[in-house]
Amino acid sequence: MTTKLWGGRFGGTTDVLMRRFNDSITFDLRLWEADIRGSIAYASALAGAGVLTDQEAATLVAGLRAVQTEFAEGRFEVKPDDEDIHTAVERRLKEIVGEVAGKLHTGRSRNDQVATDLRLFALDAIRNVQHAIRDLQSALLAQAQAHINALMPGYTHLQRAQPITFAQWCLSHFWPFARDVERLEDCALRTAALPLGSGALAGNPFPLDREALARELGFAQITQNSLDGVSDRDFVAELLFCCAMVGVHLSRLAEDLIVYSTAEFGFVTFDDAYATGSSLMPQKKNPDAMELARGKAGRLIGNLVSLLTALKGLPMSYNKDLQEDKEPLFDSLDTLTLALPVIAGAVRTLKVNIERMRRALDPAMLATDVAEYLVRKGVPFREAHHLAGRAVAMAEAKGMGLNELTIGDWRLVSPHFDDDILAVFDFGRSVASRDVIGGTSPRAVRAQIRRAKRWLGQA
């Protein structure tokens, strides 16, 4: 005789491997808190609908709180017949309060139950990820504040392009994470819709006050269609996309720092706490934290693709395929829960080698400034660009730096060049001249830092 919730119509027992295939308790156990929260609210709603007496509801709530305590204290024991978290909690509730436990599931299905649980879980998770991202942002901001005047080469195509400051580089990684936090906020809006009351697919047959249930559970709205309510996993896909995007941003930050930490660049040095050695080469100090962050982007993207693939072409409404929503979600959240604080720590403790960055600047990086010099003398930019290019070619042919050309050389290139062309060869001046909002000048960067702080709610 089976002890399954749905055992009534079954004569035989489930195949052993089929059970392992079907069960989700190994991974959905972590929904316990959401599941019990949902059930406590549902018990009260059933009383409100006249399905339970107040006494019965009180008994169920007290029993559910006892189960909650067992979980919180690590005393909850999973039994072999616990198919998933929902059956496990109900089974234990029955052991504690007796037969009245059988009334809790009235009008409810695991379909609307699991959709509710996962939304509650996701809402908590969104807050945690946002918090961890913000901490990484403050680490980037602190490095920016400490290096407003630290000059370094800015790159396009990973070729030296124009001088910037290290602060400007730090902030270039701050804003993508700001978008991630905002994107998560937007994702929370749609996640906070309550499916409970959708039943298996057709809706609850008792006069349940879904709006009150939603308020009770902290949802901003209720789902509008019972079929959609039990089968909508858009919120999981959105959250997985948000996580994947964070992963992509982490991977770009990581890649920059991996390159900057090489002996060839030497711009930054990782604290020992965030580097590892080689078992063979005694001299090695490897940026493993960054490499892992870069690598994890792969699984974060994979988890998104995995869910979207499972959702594609699913017939309305609930299908067991939807059980495949949880593992990718949990994995992405676990990945970020570890990666974000590690990268924040590595950024916070980063040693920045200002001298090395400065020495990597090359006067040729001021060729654009040469063109801009001509523009200020009234030469159209296209022509100025061409003339500056000629000067670069001349310096190259002479085997000297662009800043080493004599005034005679400059005049050969164009009569528009005067003595003051030599003043252009000042990296600090070049940086200071890029003074628009969002530019790399120390003044503009200070203003940017104020906006970043305000964004973080620190100022």
| Catalytic site residue from 86, 278, 414, 416 | 278
User: From CA 46, how far away is CA 28, in angstroms rounded?
Assistant: 25
Integer Cα distance of 73 and 225 in angstroms: 38
Q: Does 116 bind ligand ARG (CB under 6 A)?
A: no
Alpha carbon 18 to chain centroid distance?
36
Q: Is 111 a binder of ligand ARG (CB under 6 A)?
A: yes
Angle 198-199-204 from CA coordinates, rounded to 5°? 80
Task: State which residue, 272 or 334, has the beta carbon closest to ligand ARG.
Answer: 334
Report yes or no: 434 and 395 within 8 Å, Cβ to Cβ: no
Q: Give the C-alpha separation, 54 to 49, whole Å.
A: 11
Query: Is the CB of 273 or the CB of 314 nearer to ligand ARG?
Result: 314
Which uninterrupted H or E stretch holds 85?
helix 85-97
231 binds ligand ARG (CB under 6 A): no
Q: Cβ of residue 320: shortest distance to ligand ARG, in angstroms?
A: 6
Dist. CA 267–CA 271, nearest whole Å: 13
Residue type at 20 in one-letter notation: R
Site mask for ligand ARG (CB under 6 A), range 6-25, x = bound: ------------------x-
Assess whether 251 carries a catalytic annotation. no
114 binds ligand ARG (CB under 6 A): yes
- Looking at the Cβ atoms of 25 and 394, the one nearer to ligand ARG is 25
Contacts made by residues 308-315, CB under 8 angstroms, sequence distance 24+: 308/237, 311/233, 311/237, 314/231
Q: Quick one: tokens of 190?
A: 């749609």
For ligand ARG, the closer CB: 29 or 248: 29
Task: State which of residues 40, 188, 293, 322 lies at the interface with ligand ARG (CB under 6 A).
Answer: 322
Yes or no: say if 214 and 194 are a contact pair by the CB < 8 Å rule: yes
**How big is the chain by its Cα radius of gyration, in Å?**
31
Tokens found for residue 118: 């996962």
Q: Considering the candidates 44, 86, 147, 157, report the single residue annotated as catalytic.
A: 157
172 carries an active-site annotation: no
Q: CB 84 → ligand ARG: shortest distance, Å?
A: 4
Q: Which of 172, 286, 323, 349 binds ligand ARG (CB under 6 A)?
A: 323
110 binds ligand ARG (CB under 6 A): yes
The piece of 106-114, 126-134, 217-225, 270-278 that touches ligand ARG (CB under 6 A) is 106-114
Rounded to the nearest whole angstrom, what is the least distance from the CB of residue 24 to ligand ARG in the complex?
4
- Shortest approach of ligand ARG to residue 31 CB, angstroms? 9
Beta bridge pairs of residue 352: 268
Kindly list the catalytic residues. Answer: 157, 278
Residues engaged in binding ligand ARG (CB under 6 A): 24, 28, 84, 110-111, 114, 320, 322-323
